[in-house]
Amino acid sequence: MTRITHWIDGRPWSGTSARTAPVHDPATGAMTAEVDLADLTVVDQAVESATAAASAWRRASLTQRSRVLFAFRHLLAEHAEEVAAAITAEHGKVLSDALGEVTRGLEVVEFACGLGHLLKGGHSEGVSTGVDVHSVRQALGVVAVISPFNVPAMVPLWFVPVAIAAGNAVVLKPSEKDPSASLVMARLWKEAGLPDGVLTVLHGDKEAVDGLLTHPGVSAVSFVGSTPIARYVYETGTAHGKRVQALGGAKNHMLVLPDADLDLVADAAVNAGFGSAGERCMAISALVAVGDVADRLVPRIVERMSALRTGDGRRGCDMGPLVTAQHRDKVAGYVAAGVEAGADLVVDGRLVEPDGDPNGFWLGPTLFDKVEPEMSIYTDEIFGPVLSIVRVDSFDEGLALINANPYGNGTAIFTHDGGAARRFETEVEVGMVGINVPIPVPMAYYSFGGWKSSLFGDSHAHGAEGFHFFTRGKVVTTRWPDPSHGGVDLGFPTHS
């Protein structure tokens, strides 16, 4: 049995853990490792190591920092397959999808390589006679990144490269369900020349998260996970004086107008509904079909679904298993609830014949039609391969349905009508919008984040907002001594 432990001070932790959690290979159901779960003593040790490293790292020149970033970028590209294999072994997603998330994470590293430009302040010469003003952005110190199971490389890469580029030390707490990708990347950071302690990987569960949220040595927390935990993290972290961005769950809608190209729509719905077994925060889970769209679209979707191969992610299948047996059972429970509530079960993923070990955590792609907004398959984030079609009579009804949803992560409209698309873009209350693009994940130089219950805090991830989140602004007013400025004046400082 492999033991997975923390990465502190640039090496594996040498202590003994009182608590561990099992790590499974979801495609075989076998327990493959045990991961150490940090208690408060280990949290203290991690923060102490990061604090010691942070003061030197924030003083490292921008040139030194960007060289480490470039070297890490090179190593990550070189080791992308190793990271992807670690993801597939513990998450279950197919290898091509795992490689895809590494590629998207790599884009953030490439963006962060431009740190010299991104950390530039402003300068105003002569704001008053002989007085200049300039602004700088400085590192916060030690920041924590807490990530979910579903994108174990990409989500850490949304934050870690930006935080490090900005001069912070990072304590990364990955999901205990698939902790290994973070450790591969920590090793690559070290090889890239990152000083020990600037990146710590701390494994754990609620105890470790609470330890970080309340630790006086932690300045900021970037969290990604389900909405109830995101809300808790935001409230607890801010109550302890920390800057917090907490990205939560999602229920992403795809609005399809009658003029859309339904073959393209069917491709998009299948890709966005079942990619990564629906365990994506940007997965489409509700397809809102206007007018007669559903009657024409359902056969096209079913045809594509029947060609999908569910199985072991290492065998070239289209869709892998769910992450744990418990999660598979929960998603299957939603399928049963949908049937019970009276929705039309068009394709039942519970009947799947997987290309893989029978003990894997299997559930095939599932399609419901005639789903009503009060059914639990519509109201809840299922986070599995279940696509629900909701029929509406008009664009306005579809838009109102999307805007009434408490989540606001991603959404998409499919149409050839530019006017309708423009109205959708303007009026939809969602953070990331696709126009004929089903999964509109922004490029690294824009920022990623939802609205409403999909994000708590002011800042989205990466892009300019990422650098802003991980730095504090300072404005410096300078006057070099000149005898003409002497004299006592207690009045309010105004400029002349």
Q: With binding defined as CB under 6 A, does residue 225 bind ligand NAD?
A: yes
The CA distance from 320 to 313, in Å, is 5
Nearer to ligand NAD by Cβ, of 244 and 289: the residue is: 244
Classify each residue of 18-41 as buried b or exposed e, where b means 16 or more C-beta atoms within 10 Å of its C-beta: eebbebbbbbbbeeebbbbbbbee
Which range, of 99-107, 202-210, 286-294, 335-343, touches ligand NAD by CB under 6 A? 202-210
CB of 215 to ligand NAD, least distance (A): 14
The CA distance from 81 to 102, in Å, is 9
Please tell me which residue in 76, 83, 181, 281 is annotated as part of the active site: 281
**Among 58, 24, 73, CA closest to 141:** 58
CB of 210 to ligand NAD, least distance (A): 6
Distances (CA, A) of 358 to 242, 311, 385: 46, 10, 18
Which range, of 27-35, 218-226, 364-372, 486-494, touches ligand NAD by CB under 6 A? 218-226
- Contact between 354 and 362 under an 8 Å Cβ cutoff? The reply is yes
Q: With binding defined as CB under 6 A, does residue 224 bind ligand NAD?
A: yes
The CA distance from 159 to 447, in Å, is 11
Q: With binding defined as CB under 6 A, does residue 285 bind ligand NAD?
A: no
Task: Give the per-residue contact string, 328-347, with ligand NAD (x = CB under 6 A; - = no).
Answer: --------------------
CB of 101 to ligand NAD, least distance (A): 11
Helices 62-78 and 154-165: angle between axes, nearest 10 degrees:
160
Tell me the pairing of strands 169-173 and 243-247.
unpaired
The CA distance from 223 to 183, in Å, is 18
Nearer to ligand NAD by Cβ, of 99 and 146: the residue is: 146
Which range, of 85-93, 246-254, 311-319, 359-367, touches ligand NAD by CB under 6 A? 246-254
Which range, of 19-27, 123-131, 191-199, 204-212, touches ligand NAD by CB under 6 A? 204-212
The CA distance from 248 to 142, in Å, is 23
Q: With binding defined as CB under 6 A, does residue 101 bind ligand NAD?
A: no
Q: Which of 69, 102, 198, 281 binds ligand NAD (CB under 6 A)?
A: 281
Which range, of 3-11, 244-252, 313-321, 476-484, touches ligand NAD by CB under 6 A? 244-252
- Contact between 421 and 395 under an 8 Å Cβ cutoff? The reply is no
**Among 214, 217, 186, 216, CA closest to 202:** 186
Q: Which of 146, 269, 387, 413 binds ligand NAD (CB under 6 A)?
A: 146
Q: With binding defined as CB under 6 A, does residue 457 bind ligand NAD?
A: no
CB of 194 to ligand NAD, least distance (A): 22
Annotated active-site residue 281? The verdict is: yes
Nearer to ligand NAD by Cβ, of 42 and 250: the residue is: 250
Q: Which of residues 147-186 bind ligand NAD (CB under 6 A)?
A: 147-151, 155, 173, 175-176
CB of 261 to ligand NAD, least distance (A): 29
The CA distance from 242 to 217, in Å, is 10
CB closest to ligand NAD, residue no:
225
Task: Describe the chain by its helix, strand, coil percentages, rounded to 5.
Answer: 40, 25, 35
Q: With binding defined as CB under 6 A, does residue 272 bind ligand NAD?
A: no
CB of 177 to ligand NAD, least distance (A): 7
Q: With binding defined as CB under 6 A, does residue 248 bind ligand NAD?
A: yes
- Contact between 58 and 168 under an 8 Å Cβ cutoff? The reply is yes
The length of the chain is 496
Q: Which of 179, 197, 365, 450 binds ligand NAD (CB under 6 A)?
A: 450
Q: With binding defined as CB under 6 A, does residue 93 bind ligand NAD?
A: no
Which range, of 25-33, 141-149, 352-360, 392-400, touches ligand NAD by CB under 6 A? 141-149
Where helices occur in 113-191 by DSSP H, the ranges are 115-118, 154-165, 180-191
Q: With binding defined as CB under 6 A, does residue 226 bind ligand NAD?
A: yes
Q: Which of 107, 132, 205, 380 binds ligand NAD (CB under 6 A)?
A: 205
The CA distance from 151 to 156, in Å, is 8
Q: Which of 17, 285, 366, 454 binds ligand NAD (CB under 6 A)?
A: 454
Tokens of 406: 């408490």
Q: What is the DSSP letter of 112?
A: H
- Alpha-carbon Rg for the chain, nearest whole angstrom, is 25
Which range, of 62-70, 117-125, 205-213, 467-475, touches ligand NAD by CB under 6 A? 205-213
The CA distance from 313 to 318, in Å, is 8
Q: What is the DSSP letter of 389?
A: E
Amino acid sitting at position 155: V
Nearer to ligand NAD by Cβ, of 48 and 380: the residue is: 380
Question: Site for ligand NAD (CB under 6 A): how many residues?
Answer: 27
Tokens of 287: 């397809």
Task: Phi first, then psi: give them for residue 432, nearest 5 degrees.
Answer: -130, 125
Nearer to ligand NAD by Cβ, of 57 and 456: the residue is: 456
Q: Which residues bind ligand NAD (CB under 6 A)?
A: 146-151, 155, 173, 175-176, 205-206, 209, 224-226, 229, 247-250, 281, 381, 383, 409, 450, 454
Catalytic residues: 281
